[in-house]
Amino acid sequence: MTGTGECARWAPGDQILWRYRDNGRAHRAADAPPVHICRPVTVVQDTHDLLAVWMAPGTECVRPVLADGTQVHAEPLATRYTAPRTTVRSTWFGSGVLKLARPGEPWSVWLFWDRGWLFRNWYVNLEEPRTRWTGGVDSEDHFLDISVHPDRSWKWLDEDEFAQAQRVGLMDRRTAAGVRRAGRRAVGVIREWGSPFRDGWEHWRPDPAWQVPPLPDDWDRTPAPMPS
């Protein structure tokens, strides 16, 4: 990590954690940590206007499950966000994911490939602007997402989950309205084919010398402030 005057920056190849706080805290199992998603990633670029990280295939991550071990998306929508949850360690199978995030922006853009580096799509994950700390970045997912295809077509995703989160009180009306506004702003960037969609990231490839980052035992540790 290096200092640039504005704030400390990570160098390409640094290994950090990309985490999400539990947005269903009211229904969390007593022994579940406040962070329910943790993904070790490798820094591709960290500048004043973009953080880019790579999650490699085979990365050990933390993800939420229901307290009885049921997969979250196997639970009916009516009880998906009210059934008690906990977390488990699991391996990210399939192709890796490149994540791009601009400081202060309420979404990140993820790139997915199929086998043989066949580019599949961009995925706009609406979320809280990320908080930087010494070990990585933290955010909170906002349920609503957007899929963007190579032909520049796009569609909303998970609108049913976005509505259900509001019905069960995980998101109030004011917050939901802000998330929808953020989504419309993201759609505006897509329609104009602004950054990062126009920047050629689909042609990027990871450094073959990079090792898969390990999941540390203290993955749920309390963040230490990023030094200035």
Q: pTM for this structure?
A: 0.93
The answer on pLDDT for 196 being more than 80 is yes
* Contact between residue 128 and residue 137 where contact means Cβ atoms under 8 Å apart: no
pLDDT bin (cut points 50, 70, 90) of residue 69 is very high
pLDDT bin (cut points 50, 70, 90) of residue 35 is very high
Q: What is the pLDDT of residue 33?
A: 62
- Give residues with Cβ within 8 angstroms of 59, minimum separation 6: 39, 40, 41, 91, 92, 96, 212, 213, 215
Tokens of 43: 């820094």
Q: What is the pLDDT of residue 4?
A: 45
The answer on pLDDT for 31 being more than 80 is no
Q: Which range (81-90, 138-147, 203-212) has the least confidence? A: 81-90
The answer on pLDDT for 8 being more than 60 is yes
CATH numbers and ranges of domains, the chain: 2-203 (2.40.380.10)
pLDDT digits (tens, 9 = 90+) for 146-168: 999 999 999 999 999 999 999 99
The answer on pLDDT for 5 being more than 50 is no
* Contact between residue 89 and residue 60 where contact means Cβ atoms under 8 Å apart: yes
CA distance 138 to 116: 31
Buried-state track 142-165, b at ≥16 Cβ within 10 A, e below 16: bbbbbbbeeeeebeebbeebbebb
Average pLDDT over residues 67-88: 93
The answer on pLDDT for 56 being more than 90 is yes
Q: Spell out the SS3 assignment of the chain.
A: CEECCCCEECCCCCEEEEEEECCCHHHECCCCCCEEEEEEEEEEEECCCCEEEEECCCCEEEEEEECCCCEHHHCCHHHCCCCCEEEEEEECCCCCEEEEECCCCCEEEEEEEEHHHEEEEEEEEEECCCEEECCEEEECEEEEEEEECCCCCEEEECHHHHHHHHHCCCCCHHHHHHHHHHHHHHHHHHHHCCCCCCCCHHHCCCCCCCCCCCCCCCCCCCCCECCC
The answer on pLDDT for 191 being more than 50 is yes
Average pLDDT over residues 178-186: 98
Tokens of 131: 């908080």
Q: What is the pLDDT of residue 26?
A: 53
CA distance 98 to 165: 27
Q: What is the pLDDT of residue 226?
A: 79
